[in-house]
Amino acid sequence: MKDIVNKNTTPPSPGFVFTDSRTGIVHKDLSLFAIFPKVAKSWEANGIQPPDNWKAVVIHEMCEQNPHIECREEGEPEEHMTLADAYRFGSSVTKWIAGGAQFVSNEEAELRAAICAKCHYNKPVGICWNCHSLLKWMGERTGWPETSRDHELRGCTRCKCVLKLKVQLPLDAIDNTGISYPEHCWQRC
């Protein structure tokens, strides 16, 4: 069964959406926890007996229906940013802006993305709403470039960075204080 990476702080755009295959009803809300009473009420109205783990079933189906929601497989450890990770992120943004807010070449970004896409540290990482908002704001203002592998990139569980953004940054803008990377990583250069 799948589970949502960060249930409390980062609602996906356009919010949480669950299409109930039992009733055909589409439930939407900015809060995952507001979806559950709606589903329970519709099941009761339609005479559907919920299984013991009905909330887990709803979340699993929501993950299957919404590929834009960051989900993880059951048993996979949940990764979250720490204060130190957020500090490194802020430091990297500051260095990047001070360096002229330049991106690496498309070729370099594609090479990095190919390495990250195959890496076993490429997994969902929960980021806070503030970081999510800052990343969105930066992308809207800078026209953040994309790679052909963006759909395969999640977060790096070594540094907790959002990989589709990190592969675009020059190495001298990235604060990797206290992080060790595997031999195959492009950041070891």
pLDDT in tens, the chain (189 residues): 888 876 765 566 678 889 999 999 999 998 888 999 999 999 999 999 999 999 999 999 998 998 777 787 877 766 677 888 888 988 998 999 999 989 999 999 999 999 999 998 888 777 666 666 777 777 777 788 999 999 899 889 889 888 988 999 999 999 999 899 999 999 986
The radius of gyration of the chain from alpha carbons, rounded to an integer in Å, stands at 19
CB 153 within 8 A of CB 164: yes
Is the residue at 39 inside a domain?
yes
CB 129 within 8 A of CB 9: yes
**68 & 93 share domain:** no
**140 & 164 share domain:** yes
**92 & 161 share domain:** yes
Is the residue at 65 inside a domain?
yes
**93 & 166 share domain:** yes
Is the residue at 163 inside a domain?
yes
CB 126 within 8 A of CB 6: yes
**95 & 168 share domain:** yes
**131 & 38 share domain:** no
For residue 72, give the 3-state DSSP assignment: strand
**93 & 181 share domain:** yes
* Domain end residue (candidates: 24, 45, 73): 73
Provide the pLDDT for residue 16: 85
**100 & 182 share domain:** yes
Identity at 117, one-letter amino acid code: A
**116 & 173 share domain:** yes
pTM over 0.85: no
**11 & 53 share domain:** yes
* Domain end residue (candidates: 73, 100, 130): 73
d(CA 132, CA 179): 22
For residue 45, give the 3-state DSSP assignment: helix
Tally the domains of the chain: 2
Is the residue at 78 inside a domain?
no
* Domain end residue (candidates: 73, 96, 113): 73
Is the residue at 143 inside a domain?
yes
**98 & 168 share domain:** yes
The parent domain of residue 28 ranges over 2-73
CB 166 within 8 A of CB 173: no
